[in-house]
Amino acid sequence: MRRIAKFHKVSETRFTEDWIDNFPGTSESDIRTIYNRIKLPVRATSGSAGYDFFSPVDVVLKPGEAAKIPTGIRVEMEQDWVLKCYPRSGLGFKYRLQLNNTVGIIDSDYFYSDNEGHIFAKITNDSNEGKTVEIPAGTGFMQGIFVEYGITVDDSADGIRNGGFGSTTK
């Protein structure tokens, strides 16, 4: 198995800015506590393809509710690889927990963006059975799988990324 990537935490400054942007009114002391509890993604077993991302706080979503979660995580990976993010299988099966962009795509050059490549997850409880999903802090809610990709023989992309969602087409 090739080892092609390494997870890191974003800086505390970056995390604080992004947390306040999404959860205004949170005290700096509480944000520091959340930041210090962030766990890097891991595989649960030697046969697992996915790296589990852990919720930095308790999340409760009633049917139809959504939350945008700053994970505090960034990933450094070799070029020609991508990290594809999905909901954890059990949460998707039991609650129809969805990532709002269906599959999160983390490109190798995202690590070098001005936002430090901070990975966010916007999740929605899409339950049509009236189930409320509860994700305790420190519980896996999303999984990331590294995939190698190819390009066309006549590819001439030479742009440089500087940002997150939709930044490569601006």
* Count of domains for the chain: 1
d(CA 118, CA 122): 13
pLDDT value of position 163: 63
Report yes or no on 130 lying in a domain: yes
Report yes or no on 11 lying in a domain: yes
Cβ 69 vs Cβ 1: under 8 Å:
no
DSSP state of 57: S
**pLDDT of residue 43 exceeding 70:** yes
pLDDT value of position 88: 94
pLDDT digits (tens, 9 = 90+) for 58-87: 999 999 999 999 999 999 999 999 999 999
Name the strand (E) or helix (H) holding 83: strand 81-87
Report the DSSP beta bridge partners of residue 84. 105, 145
Report yes or no on 122 lying in a domain: yes
Rounded average pLDDT over 153-165: 81
Cβ 113 vs Cβ 31: under 8 Å:
no
Rounded average pLDDT over 3-11: 98
**pLDDT of residue 118 exceeding 50:** yes
pLDDT value of position 10: 98
Residue 88 sits in which domain range?
A: 5-149
Rounded average pLDDT over 156-162: 85
**pLDDT of residue 170 exceeding 60:** no
CATH number at residue 35: 2.70.40.10
Model confidence at 160, in pLDDT bands (50, 70, 90)? confident
Report yes or no on 145 lying in a domain: yes
